[in-house]
């Protein structure tokens, strides 16, 4: 189940539509790594609004996406973590340390804009 | 809604199936959304352990009742290699596969009751329960 | 009507009215097979007086201030009368199963809905029993001992019924209390929006694991609903902050961050800060600002608000 990846300016936006298998997550990671390089993106937004569970594997993959993106010069923002999911993640002991987060796509884009202009960062 | 649901876990797609069934049963038992998510997340962790370490196993979900409240019992069972040192496995940060090491201790934090039974060569059984508040 | 049926079903489940449970209830009033045959012996006489008995019950209630909640509502009274007549007829059928108990639960729920005082209910039951007793004894004039024994058997099933209805009233009262406690819990974890994108979470009192969970859930939902980017969490009023409480607070901060919101913690006294450091709790990952005022100002600054002071109105001349 491919995840649609859109390009808006120099930002790649990956909107996860439904629960992904481990394989799908890894494919997403590789796809994003590839496109960041090819399209010279400076920002990546991964929208997890539709995910009702973010377990340790998914979190690890998100960290992987951010790490690879950073190696290629792009900043990643994870957006759309739902209240129940955020709660479960901290109970589980997962923190997405080092990866920026924002409430939704709009906020994510704003965050990337502010950072690229050397603005103050508010979260992450 | 049946009282017991068995989900065979043999490949990674079964992880999603197991946790979605878990969420359904949790909702039917009267758990709130937040608690449903905790349960689904815990199932995801133990189901993945089965796939990663034992290749195949099963997850059994049961609606349970005690004197005053309802709950959900989850049994994750496999005939895999077993865990040599269960105590070590339950320690945060410990991982044999370069993962985040939160699987088992993390799942325990999400549930109300948690039991781990495992011996090398004899497979692993994780039993967890959560009660509706 | 559908709501009522759902309530009935839920209550049946909560009260665990199983066959085993019913046998226990019969045992508790001492109901035996001999009783059943004596009750059957009273069938004709009781059935002939059902209307009179029902009237006695409700007339007694009508005379009590405490029963006003029921007596003043015509539709409830009509339904109650209907049910009571059916009950009296069923009492002498000597067959007491789940359906029998269900009937009484329905009436119990009605009494609960009307707020019927339990003492008034018991008084009316007594009046009804006395009336039935007199009727029975008259019928057994020639064999008073047999009459007495028959009436005592009937009384057992009357107490069985009273037991069920009292249970319903207790269950329903406890339900109301639980709901009130839930409401109090909600009120005690208020999240206030004090500016666009800025929430204030004043925490007061004792924080146990349960409350900490509720506070976190409340806050996270509020972050989503208000699209908040900043939260000032003031802990000045927290009774005591030990490592457990501190960990709860740290978790709240982490969870809020996952939703893109920064939490500024205010009200951590230097003593508390020191003791937490001694316990190994890392406060470096948390923004702490001395007091609430300072915290709000810092949050506003980070959000890009500039506070400008305008001259007071009185100073403006024409």
Q: Locate the chain C residue with the closest alpha carbon to A102.
A: C260
Mean pLDDT, rounded, for B3-11: 92
- C157/A contact by beta carbon, under 8 A: no
Q: Are residues C178 and C203 in the same domain?
A: no
**Containing domain of residue C158, as a range?**
2-184
Tell me the DSSP string of A51-80: -S---HHHHHHHHHHHHHHHHTT-EEEEE-
Q: Are residues C180 and C210 in the same domain?
A: no
Mean pLDDT, rounded, for B96-108: 75
Confidence of residue B17 (pLDDT cuts 50, 70, 90): very high
Contact yes or no for A52 and B40 at CB 8 A: yes
Q: Chain A contacts of C262, Cβ < 8 Å?
A: 122-123
Contact yes or no for B92 and A93 at CB 8 A: yes
Selected residue of A66, A102, A103 to mutate for chain C interface (largest C Cβ count, 10 A):
A103
Separation between Cα atoms, residue B68 and residue B71, nearest integer Å: 10
Q: Are residues C82 and C26 in the same domain?
A: yes
Higher pLDDT, A27 or B133: A27
Q: C110 is written with which tokens?
A: 């009605």
pLDDT of residue B98: 55
Q: Are residues C88 and C175 in the same domain?
A: yes
Separation between Cα atoms, residue C276 and residue C231, nearest integer Å: 22
Separation between Cα atoms, residue A47 and residue C86, nearest integer Å: 62
- C216/A contact by beta carbon, under 8 A: yes
Secondary structure element (H or E) that encloses residue A108, with its range: helix A105-116
Number of domains in chain A: 1
Q: Are residues C150 and C286 in the same domain?
A: no
- A124/C contact by beta carbon, under 8 A: yes
Q: Are residues C173 and C269 in the same domain?
A: no
Nearest chain C CA: its distance from A96 CA (Å): 8
Interface of B to A at Cβ within 8 Å reads 12-13, 15-16, 19-20, 23, 33-34, 36-38, 40-41, 44-45, 48, 92, 99-100, 102-103, 105-107, 109-110
Lowest mean per-residue pLDDT among B79-93, B116-130, C69-83, C118-132: B79-93
Nearest chain B CA: its distance from A90 CA (Å): 9
Q: Which chains contact A through at least 3 pairs of Cβ atoms less than 8 Å apart?
A: B, C
Tell me the DSSP string of C112-157: HHHT--HHHHHHHHHHHHHHHHHHHHHHTTT-HHHHHHHHHHHHHH
Mean pLDDT, rounded, for A32-43: 95
Q: Per the domain annotation, does A106 fall within a domain? A: yes
Q: Per the domain annotation, does C90 fall within a domain? A: yes
Q: Per the domain annotation, does C310 fall within a domain? A: no
- A102/C contact by beta carbon, under 8 A: yes
Mean pLDDT, rounded, for A53-80: 95
**Containing domain of residue A97, as a range?**
5-113
Those residues whose C-beta lies under 8 Å from the C-beta of residue C60, and which sit 6 or more positions away, are C123, C124, C127, C128
CATH number (domain holding residue A80) = 3.30.750.24
Separation between Cα atoms, residue C6 and residue A113, nearest integer Å: 53
Number of domains in chain C: 2
pLDDT of residue A124: 43
pLDDT of residue A1: 52
Using DSSP bridges, classify how beta strands C198-205 and C192-195 pair: parallel, antiparallel or unpaired: antiparallel
Averaged confidence pLDDT in chain C: 89
- A18/B contact by beta carbon, under 8 A: no
Q: Chain C contacts of A120, Cβ < 8 Å?
A: 302
Tell me the DSSP string of C169-230: HHHHHHHHHHHHHHHHHHHTS--EEEETTEEEEEEEE---HHHHHHHHHHHHHHHHHHT-SE
For tokens 């009660």, name the residue. B131
Residue-wise pLDDT for C279-314, tens only, equals 777 666 677 778 888 899 999 998 888 777 777 776
Q: Locate the chain A residue with the closest alpha carbon to C259.
A: A103
Mean pLDDT, rounded, for C6-32: 87
Q: Chain A contacts of C217, Cβ < 8 Å?
A: 83, 87
Q: Is the pLDDT at B57 greater than 70, yes or no?
A: yes
Q: Per the domain annotation, does A24 fall within a domain? A: yes
Q: ipTM for the complex? A: 0.92
Q: Which chains contact B through at least 3 pairs of Cβ atoms less than 8 Å apart?
A: A
Nearest chain C CA: its distance from A95 CA (Å): 7
Contact yes or no for A87 and B13 at CB 8 A: no
Contact yes or no for B110 and A92 at CB 8 A: yes
Confidence of residue C208 (pLDDT cuts 50, 70, 90): confident
From the candidate CATH numbers 1.10.3080.10, 2.60.40.2470, 3.30.565.10, 3.30.200.20, the one assigned to the domain spanning B4-131: 3.30.565.10
Q: Is the pLDDT at B97 greater than 70, yes or no?
A: no
Q: Per the domain annotation, does A118 fall within a domain? A: no
Which residues, listed in sequence order, are joined to residue B61 by a DSSP beta bridge? B5, B74
Q: Are residues C44 and C145 in the same domain?
A: yes
Separation between Cα atoms, residue C21 and residue C254, nearest integer Å: 49
Mean pLDDT, rounded, for C80-90: 95
Strand order across the B57-65 sheet: B4-9, B57-65, B70-78, B124-131, B113-118
Q: Are residues C160 and C17 in the same domain?
A: yes
- C224/A contact by beta carbon, under 8 A: yes
Q: Per the domain annotation, does C104 fall within a domain? A: yes
Q: Are residues C155 and C56 in the same domain?
A: yes
**Residues B94 and A80 sit within 8 Å (Cβ to Cβ):** no
Q: Per the domain annotation, does A120 fall within a domain? A: no
Residue-wise pLDDT for C96-106, tens only, equals 999 999 999 99
Nearest chain B CA: its distance from A117 CA (Å): 34
Which residues, listed in sequence order, are joined to residue A5 by a DSSP beta bridge? A14
Q: Per the domain annotation, does C316 fall within a domain? A: no
CATH number (domain holding residue C39) = 1.10.490.10
Contact yes or no for A84 and B37 at CB 8 A: yes
Q: Are residues C45 and C164 in the same domain?
A: yes
Q: Per the domain annotation, does C318 fall within a domain? A: no
Those residues whose C-beta lies under 8 Å from the C-beta of residue A18, and which sit 6 or more positions away, are A1, A50
Question: Among B12, B48, B109, whose Cβ lies nearest the Cβ of A23?
Answer: B12
Tell me the DSSP string of C33-101: HHHHHHHHHTHHHHHHTHHHHHHHHHHHHHT-GGGHHHHT-HHHHHHHHHHHHHHHHHHTT----HHHH
Separation between Cα atoms, residue C52 and residue C45, nearest integer Å: 12
Q: Are residues C76 and C212 in the same domain?
A: no
Tell me the three-class secondary structure of chain B, residue by residue.
CCCEEEEEECCHHHHHHHHHHHHHHHHHHCCCHHHHHHHHHHHHHHHHHHHHHHCCEEEEEEEEECCCCEEEEEEEEECCCCCCCHHHHCCCCCCCCCCCCCHHHHHHHHCCEEEEEECCCCCEEEEEEEECC
Mean pLDDT, rounded, for A25-29: 94
**What count of CB pairs under 8 Å joins A to C?**
64
The residue out of C162, C184, C206 marking a domain boundary is C184
- A88/C contact by beta carbon, under 8 A: no
- C229/A contact by beta carbon, under 8 A: yes
Q: Are residues C149 and C233 in the same domain?
A: no
């Amino acid at each position: 189940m491919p995840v649609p990846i859109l390009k808006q300016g120099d930002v790649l936006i990956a909107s996860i539509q439904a629960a992904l298998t481990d394989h799908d997550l890894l494919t997403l990671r590789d796809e994003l790594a590839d496109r960041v390089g090819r399209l010279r993106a400076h920002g990546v937004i991964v929208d997890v609004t539709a995910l009702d569970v973010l377990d340790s594997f998914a979190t690890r993959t998100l960290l992987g996406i951010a790490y690879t993106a950073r190696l290629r010069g792009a900043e990643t923002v994870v957006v759309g973590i739902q209240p129940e999911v955020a709660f479960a993640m901290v109970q589980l002991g997962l923190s997405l340390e080092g990866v920026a987060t924002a409430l939704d796509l709009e906020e994510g884009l704003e965050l990337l804009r502010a950072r690229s202009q050397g603005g103050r960062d508010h979260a992450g | 809604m049946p009282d017991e649901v068995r989900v065979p876990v043999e490949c990674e797609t079964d992880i999603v199936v197991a946790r979605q069934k878990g969420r359904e049963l949790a909702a039917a038992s009267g758990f709130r959304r937040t608690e449903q998510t905790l349960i689904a997340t815990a199932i995801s962790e133990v189901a993945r352990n089965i796939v990663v370490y034992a290749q195949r196993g099963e997850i059994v979900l049961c609606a349970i009742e005690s004197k005053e409240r309802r709950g959900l019992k989850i049994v994750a069972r496999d005939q895999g290699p077993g865990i040599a040192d269960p105590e070590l496995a339950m320690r945060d940060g410990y991982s044999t596969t370069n993962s985040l090491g939160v699987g088992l201790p993390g799942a325990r934090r999400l549930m109300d009751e948690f039991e781990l039974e495992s011996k090398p060569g004899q497979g692993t059984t994780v039993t967890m329960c959560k009660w509706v508040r | 009507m559908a709501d009522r049926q759902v309530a009935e079903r839920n209550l049946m489940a909560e009260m665990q009215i199983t066959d085993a449970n019913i046998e226990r209830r019969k045992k508790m009033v001492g109901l035996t097979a001999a009783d059943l045959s004596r009750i059957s012996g009273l069938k004709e006489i009781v059935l002939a007086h059902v209307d009179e008995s029902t009237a006695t019950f409700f007339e007694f209630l009508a005379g009590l201030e405490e029963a006003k909640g029921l007596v003043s509502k015509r539709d409830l009274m009509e339904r109650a009368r209907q049910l009571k007549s059916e009950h009296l007829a069923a009492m002498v059928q000597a067959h007491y199963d789940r359906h029998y108990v269900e009937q009484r639960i329905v009436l119990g729920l009605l009494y609960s809905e009307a707020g019927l005082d339990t003492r008034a209910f018991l008084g009316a039951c007594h009046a009804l029993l006395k009336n039935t007793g007199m009727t029975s004894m008259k019928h057994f004039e020639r064999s008073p001992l047999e009459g007495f024994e028959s009436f005592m058997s009937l009384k057992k099933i009357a107490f069985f019924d009273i037991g069920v209805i009292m249970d319903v009233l207790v269950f329903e009262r406890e339900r109301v209390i639980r709901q009130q406690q839930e409401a109090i819990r909600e009120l005690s974890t208020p999240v206030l929006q004090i500016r666009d994108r800025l929430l204030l979470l004043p925490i007061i009192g004792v924080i146990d694991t349960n409350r900490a969970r509720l506070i976190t859930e409340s806050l996270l939902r509020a972050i989503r609903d208000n699209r908040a980017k900043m939260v000032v969490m003031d802990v000045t009023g927290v009774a005591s902050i030990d490592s457990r409480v501190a960990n709860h607070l740290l978790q709240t901060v982490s969870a809020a961050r996952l939703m893109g919101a920064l939490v500024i913690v205010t009200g951590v006294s230097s003593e508390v800060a020191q003791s937490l450091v001694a316990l190994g709790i890392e406060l470096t990952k948390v923004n702490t600002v001395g007091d609430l005022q300072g915290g709000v100002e810092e949050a506003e600054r980070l959000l890009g608000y500039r506070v400008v002071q305008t001259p007071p109105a009185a100073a403006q001349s024409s």
